[in-house]
């Protein structure tokens, strides 16, 4: 495995009886890359992520992180930030208290609490109990916890879940900035637009199988050709309208984010 490969799987599989939730996935994710893992609900995205993090044992295949197989030595986890399935926090603790507890667990500097609160737009809610946050702000808090210890690898399951359009743009810009600084991002999503705006490379998973993988520009060209050949004029117009409405919403609610 090359020295720039941060995350890799070989023939990774997870079977539950006769159900092949993940069926022989080969992946390589490079340093500083944003990899979009795209698939429908139930395609095997979360199961794959849980195996990447060592939360469940594969039925077959292997996972390597930073060039070493995951297993008994958990030191590699200190270099990884993650968000799996849904936002979680201690409901009775405030945003700041949740982050300070996470800071102690990870050994992050005290200043990082204030830093991630600012990065994720949580300053107005810093003193609010997590149980009283909106779903979107709970998601921001979970992302802040993942970023707190300045990880070299981020593994994020549906990071834009519950965020409004402006929040999606803010998180997108934050992740892009981190990748430009050398942080590797592996993110799953079932939302094509989210992945298309951010990922350098996209893998499409269906029924546990990686059916296609290519740089974003290559898949975008294939998608445009498919739309041109397969969509009616009305369907093409509707797709453009949806994109225009998203841009207009962002311009009306946060002019800086829409640029």
pLDDT of residue 259: 45
Q: What integer is the mean pLDDT of 130-146?
A: 95
Task: Report the distance separating Cα 218 and Cα 202, nearest Å.
Answer: 10
Whether the pLDDT of residue 243 is over 70: the answer is no
| Res 219: pLDDT | 83
Please give the structure tokens belonging to residue 30.
């490079």
What are the tens digits of pLDDT across the range 93-107?
999 999 999 999 999
Higher pLDDT, 236 or 253: 236
- What is the pLDDT at residue 32? 97
Over residues 30-63, the pLDDT tens digits come to 999 999 999 988 999 999 999 999 999 999 999 9
Q: Domain ranges in the chain? A: 5-253
Other C-beta atoms closer than 10 Å to the C-beta of 54 total 16
The average pLDDT across 166-185 equals 93
**Integer Cα distance of 27 and 38 in angstroms:** 13
Give residue 246's pLDDT: 55
Q: Of 3.40.50.300, 3.40.50.2000, 3.40.50.620, 3.40.50.1220, which CATH number belongs to 5-253?
A: 3.40.50.300
Residue 1 confidence (pLDDT): 57
The total of other beta-carbon atoms located within 10 Å of residue 42's CB is 13
Band of the pLDDT at 76, cuts 50, 70, 90? Answer: confident
Residue 258 banded pLDDT, cuts 50, 70, 90: very low
Contact 37, 47 (CB under 8 A): no
Q: 257 falls in which pLDDT band (50, 70, 90)?
A: very low
Q: Is the pLDDT of residue 222 over 70?
A: yes
């Amino acid at each position: 495995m090359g020295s720039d490969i941060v995350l890799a799987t070989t023939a990774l599989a997870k079977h539950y009886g006769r159900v092949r939730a993940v069926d022989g996935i080969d992946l390589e994710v490079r340093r500083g890359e944003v990899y979009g893992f795209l698939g429908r609900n139930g395609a095997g995205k979360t199961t794959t992520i849980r195996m990447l993090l060592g939360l469940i044992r594969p039925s077959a295949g292997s996972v390597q992180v930073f060039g070493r197989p995951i297993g008994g030595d958990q030191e590699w986890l200190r270099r990884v930030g993650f968000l799996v399935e849904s936002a979680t926090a201690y409901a009775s603790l405030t945003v700041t208290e949740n982050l300070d507890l996470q800071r102690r667990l990870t050994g992050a500097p005290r200043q990082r609490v204030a830093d991630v609160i600012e990065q994720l737009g949580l300053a107005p809610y810093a003193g609010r109990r997590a149980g009283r946050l909106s779903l979107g702000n709970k998601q921001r808090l979970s992302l802040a916890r993942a970023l707190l210890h300045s990880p070299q690898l981020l593994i994020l399951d549906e990071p834009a879940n519950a965020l409004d359009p402006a929040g999606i743009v803010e998180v997108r810009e934050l992740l892009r900035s981190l990748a430009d600084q050398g942080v590797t991002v592996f993110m799953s999503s079932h939302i094509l637009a989210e992945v298309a705006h951010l990922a350098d490379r996209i893998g499409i998973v269906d029924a546990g199988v990686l059916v296609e993988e290519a740089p974003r520009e290559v898949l975008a060209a294939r998608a445009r050709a498919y739309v041109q050949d397969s969509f009616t004029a009305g369907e093409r117009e509707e797709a453009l309208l949806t994109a225009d409405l998203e841009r207009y919403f962002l311009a009306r609610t946060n002019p800086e984010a829409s640029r």
